[in-house]
């Protein structure tokens, strides 16, 4: 019978205490410094630093996504009339 390194039902990845996790610590330090980071980016942006503008917009403003519009269009009338209704609805 094969020998297994871990007991059945026991994970091979030991749980790391949340306070000891490097990723968690980095996120915590960044979150604490966020007001200063944003103010620095704004100052760089005022000096026409395009890279600072990109970072600020990418991180602070949500990306607009294209989602299909769920609407019920009229099915009566000619094709031209239906198209006119669709155009009216988008204005």
Q: List, for residues 17-50, the tens digit of each pLDDT value.
A: 555 678 888 888 888 998 898 888 888 888 888 8
Which residue range(s) make up the domain with 70?
Answer: 22-90
Domains identified in the chain, total number: 1
Asked if the structure places residue 86 within a domain, the reply is yes
Separation between Cα atoms, residue 86 and residue 91, nearest integer Å: 9
Asked if the structure places residue 32 within a domain, the reply is yes
State the pTM of this model.
0.41
Q: State the pLDDT confidence band at 51, using cuts at 50, 70 and 90.
A: confident
Mean pLDDT for the stretch of residues 54-79: 74
């Amino acid at each position: 019978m094969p020998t297994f390194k871990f007991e059945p039902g026991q994970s091979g990845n030991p749980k790391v205490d949340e306070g000891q996790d490097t990723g968690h610590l980095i996120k915590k330090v960044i979150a604490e410094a966020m007001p200063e980071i944003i103010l620095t980016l704004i100052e760089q942006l005022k000096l026409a630093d395009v890279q600072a503008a990109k970072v600020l917009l990418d991180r602070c403003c949500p990306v607009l996504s294209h989602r299909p519009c769920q609407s019920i269009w009229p099915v009566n009338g000619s094709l031209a009339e239906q198209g006119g209704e669709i155009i009216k609805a988008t204005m």
